[in-house]
Amino acid sequence: MRPFTRLDAVACALPIVAVDTDQIIPARFMQRPRSEGYAPVLFHDLRTDPAFPLNLRPDAKILVARRNFGSGSSREAAVYALVDYGITCVVAPSFGDIFAANSVNNGLLPAKVTEAEAGALLAVLADGRLMLVVDLATQTIAAGNLRVDFTIDPAWRTKLLNGWDDLDLTRSHSAAIEAFALADARARPWLQPNPRGRSF
């Protein structure tokens, strides 16, 4: 995964509450293999409206939205669609938990700000300013004179900054995993599923 350090890019204002994963990618597109790319289906049903903000800022790499971005389904395809399109940071007052975890696993930064800060950033973008600078090291977003701090889980921050994949970290603990599995099977023998199941 590519590390995320600093992003100096065009931002798009999406002043909508609860941009759910069904909006980001409608379910009917989820048969697609990843190799086909998900960019064409990002916000598919919203983009049919020529006035949809992303149609006016097609080169955006940052989205600024209202609260509860990415609520809903666990579909990682929502993040694939954003990332394949080129969006690597979403700024919002709150995120769906699973969406945020999926984002970090794909190098997309979910930057959490307060409602007021999201409002201020949206106002700046509405004034016609296009560029934001998002710095993960200092956890700040700059838009001209406006500077906003954002929050993120410390473990996620480290992961994004280094471009780490969980699997590498997990493998370094494989001895502990094996020991846990053995001890647990002894302590809770009942939890091993009966392989066939009984008739019911």
Partner 1 sequence: MTLAPPPMPPAGAPRSLIDKLFDSHSIVTLEDGQALLWIDRHFVHEGSHHAFARLAATNTAVSRPHLTFGVADHYVPTRGRGCPIADAGIARMVAQLEQNTARHNILLFGLDDPRQGIVHVVGPEQGLTLPGLTIVCGDSHTSTHGAFGALAFGIGASEVAHVLTTQTLWQQRPRRLLVRVDGPLGMGIGAKDIALTIIARLGADGGVGHAIEYAGSTITALSMEGRMTLCNLSIECGARCGMVAPDETTFAYLRGRPFAPDAFDAAVADWRRLPSDPGCVHDRAISLDATEIAPIVTWGVTPEQALPIMARLPDPEAADPAARAQMRAALDYMALRPGQALTDIAIDRVFIGSCTNARIEDLRAAAAVLSGRRSVVPGMVSPGSSLVKQQAEQEGLDRVFIEAGLEWVASGCSMCVGMNGDLLAPGERAASTTNRNFKGRQGPGSRTHLMSPAMVAAAAVTGHLTDVRPLLAGRG
Residues that bind partner 1 (CB under 8 A): 15-18, 20, 22-23, 26-28, 30-31, 33-34, 45, 66-68, 71-77, 79, 94-98, 101-102, 105-106, 112, 115, 139, 149, 151-155, 157-158, 166-167, 169-171, 173-174, 176-177, 180-181, 184, 188-195, 197-200
Nearer to partner 1, 10 or 18 (CB): 18
**78, 105 in Cβ contact below 8 A?**
no
d(CA 92, CA 118): 6
Nearer to partner 1, 3 or 59 (CB): 3
Nearest distance, CB of residue 115 and partner 1, angstroms: 7
Nearest distance, CB of residue 109 and partner 1, angstroms: 13
* Residue 86, Cβ density class (10 Å: 0-12 exposed, 13-18 middle, ≥19 buried): middle
Nearer to partner 1, 33 or 50 (CB): 33
How big is the chain, counted in residues?
Answer: 200
Nearest distance, CB of residue 76 and partner 1, angstroms: 4
- Closest residue by Cα to residue 75 from 116, 131, 32, 36: 32
- Closest residue by Cα to residue 109 from 37, 144, 157, 68: 157
